[in-house]
Structure 1
């Protein structure tokens, strides 16, 4: 079973960015993956609390998919390097869709 964590920007334009997570999750789930992402978390936590939860989700995954614009997000960049450090496979979202088809 492939368990995928989606990483990307949320801050800034929250509504549009969260919708990008939801759209990506739908597409990835349709390929049979179990999908985790931070856009499903409640509003009101601190940045360290969000990162703690996200790092736990990353540890539960065997793949991470990076949404467009992730390099401009300090949180997504931290998630990327954490995943690489612990051996989680990291892919670009658009490349993942090509591989899944």
Structure 2
């Protein structure tokens, strides 16, 4: 099974959007996936730069990026997707991935 990096908006959202990250991580793991969740990497937050450095390092160990709603409005998520595309990684909508597997 491929390792999935979960990408989505955090900055400016209530609770840094951690509940959405946790729920999707649970759904993907229930489907048998290995998931890297940046909310788990940075549970106490930190500066944007510090978090992105840790997140990008973790992204390098993954094969696929799964996006959460609103990723396109997040500078961090857009950077993660740009890196993923440039490195030839697969990018998918996280909800589509869960829905496909439920069928």
Secondary structure, counterpart of 1:81 in structure 2: helix
Structure 2 partner of 1:50 = 51
Structure 1 partner of 2:11 = 11
Secondary structure, counterpart of 1:32 in structure 2: coil
- Report the TM-score when normalising by structure 1: 0.91
- Report the TM-score when normalising by structure 2: 0.89
> C-alpha deviations, 1:23-61, integer Å up to 9, x for none?
000000001011112111132532222111111111111
Structure 2 partner of 1:37 = 37
Structure 1 segments, 4+ long, off by >6 Å, are none
**1-structure distance, mates of 2:45, 2:20:** 20
Aligned Cα RMSD in Å? Answer: 1.4
For residues 1-101 of structure 1, the aligned pairs below 5 Å read 1-15=1-15, 17-40=17-40, 41-101=42-102
